[in-house]
Structure 1
Amino acid sequence: MRPLRYSINVTLDGCCDHREILPDEELHRHATENIAQADALLFGRVTYDMMEAAWRPSARAGATTDWPDWMEPFARTIDAAKKYVVSSSLERVDWNAEFVRGDLRNAVQQLKQEPGNGLFVGGVKLPLALAEMGLIDEYEFVVQPRLVGHGPTLFAGLSKQVDLRLVGRWEFGSGAVAMRYEPKG
């Protein structure tokens, strides 16, 4: 069974707004490695739309990219990745993507049963639903050395505690720390 891994950047005060995270070469390399290790990405509508607008070459066609060269490996990796999208409001997806339809629990369990290295999920709302169902096998929080004083925050509304055990920790030159956890039991 392939594991479902979740990773997100979060500030020290709990904000997970991507606009509050400063881009950095080392963090982009880490994210590129995470995505490259997955067989597919699992996104909700908001994350899919955001990633497509930022990283899909045709969405950027004609636009000037003022990002540094070190962002290109991430752009190529996410562009090439297989994507599954959970959405009841989108009418269609492309960008190497297909919809996850029907019962979320059953659909994700079926994806996990397929052979491979794993699935990678990002975002805020979809991971909350997946955590509620006990479907996330690994959580990674990349804690940024920043206080921003606002939200959104992670797992707001979670109905039950999820006890985790630390399985890995990495420090970055920026002062960010990635902590990887697995659910206990």
Structure 2
Amino acid sequence: MSVAGLGTRRGYPDGMRPLRYSINVTLDGCCDHRGPVPDEELHRHHAENLSRADALLLGRVTYQMMESAWRLPMAPGVMPDWTEPFARTIDAAKKYVVSSTLDRVDWNAELVRGDLETAVRRLKEEPGDGLFVGGVQLPQALAELGLIDEYEFVVHPRLAGHGPTLFAGLSTPVDLKLVGRKEFDSGAVAMRYQSKG
């Protein structure tokens, strides 16, 4: 299926830059970052996703987890060489961190405080091609507010047998339209959806 027109503000009815969400998930619904088995092809795909965004929107837990894993420079041998493009992309990205408990952030980041809906709408109104959100709890709050324009689920051929799971307790269903599909050599499948709302 074509995804033409989804990469710019013009592809969305409200004219704001789109907020995109991507998450790895196992066949039984586990979204624990240790569930899927990473490989070079998937890291390249995720690096390309990140590079399409003007900035990343992260909650505290995801921000701290990503910083501890991907902040450059990394010690030699900590990660395989093929993770370098992903590491460079996420290290350089502008980051907005939603947190009421952190006093400060660095790593090219700034804190987002106050009303979540107001703050994220303000970010979406800024010029650019899009924002990218990761994690579990923050995307659920954004989905509740109807602020996510595009969802990507990278489904891995594995049964993890444990949680956490996505969108548990979502108060209202979110209807989506399939706009893209990509298969990987590992057997993982990335499915992209646009919000119908």
For the criterion TM > 0.5, the same-fold answer is yes
Distance (Å, rounded) in 2 between the aligned partners of 1:138 and 1:179: 10
User: What does the per-residue CA deviation read over 1:117-166, in whole Å, with 9 as the maximum and x for residues that have no partner?
Assistant: 10000000000000000000000000000001110000011001001110
Secondary structure at the counterpart of residue 19 of structure 1 = coil
1:42-81 superposed matches below 5 A? 42-57=57-72, 60=74, 63-81=75-93
Equivalent residue for 1:184? 196
Large movers: runs of 4+ above 4 Å: none
User: What letter matches 1:36 in structure 2?
Assistant: S
Equivalent residue for 2:50? 35
User: What letter matches 1:75 in structure 2?
Assistant: A
Secondary structure at the counterpart of residue 50 of structure 2 = helix
Distance (Å, rounded) in 2 between the aligned partners of 1:126 and 1:41: 12
Q: Give the superposition deviation at 1:65.
A: 3.3
Distance (Å, rounded) in 1 between the aligned partners of 2:128 and 2:84: 26
User: What letter matches 2:71 in structure 1?
Assistant: R
Secondary structure at the counterpart of residue 148 of structure 2 = coil
Structural RMSD (CA): 0.9
User: What letter matches 1:47 in structure 2?
Assistant: T
Equivalent residue for 2:136? 124
Distance (Å, rounded) in 2 between the aligned partners of 1:66 and 1:93: 24
Secondary structure at the counterpart of residue 34 of structure 2 = helix
Q: Give the superposition deviation at 1:64.
A: 4.0
Q: Give the superposition deviation at 1:80.
A: 0.2
Q: Give the superposition deviation at 1:66.
A: 3.0
Identity percentage of aligned residues: 78
Secondary structure at the counterpart of residue 31 of structure 2 = coil
List gaps (5 residues or longer) in structure 1.
none
Distance (Å, rounded) in 1 between the aligned partners of 2:76 and 2:181: 36
Distance (Å, rounded) in 1 between the aligned partners of 2:67 and 2:79: 16
Secondary structure at the counterpart of residue 20 of structure 1 = coil
User: What letter matches 2:111 in structure 1?
Assistant: F
Distance (Å, rounded) in 2 between the aligned partners of 1:91 and 1:144: 36
Secondary structure at the counterpart of residue 146 of structure 1 = coil
List gaps (5 residues or longer) in structure 2.
1-15
User: What letter matches 1:39 in structure 2?
Assistant: D
When the two structures are superposed, what TM-score results if normalisation uses the length of structure 2? 0.90
Q: Give the superposition deviation at 1:67.
A: 1.9
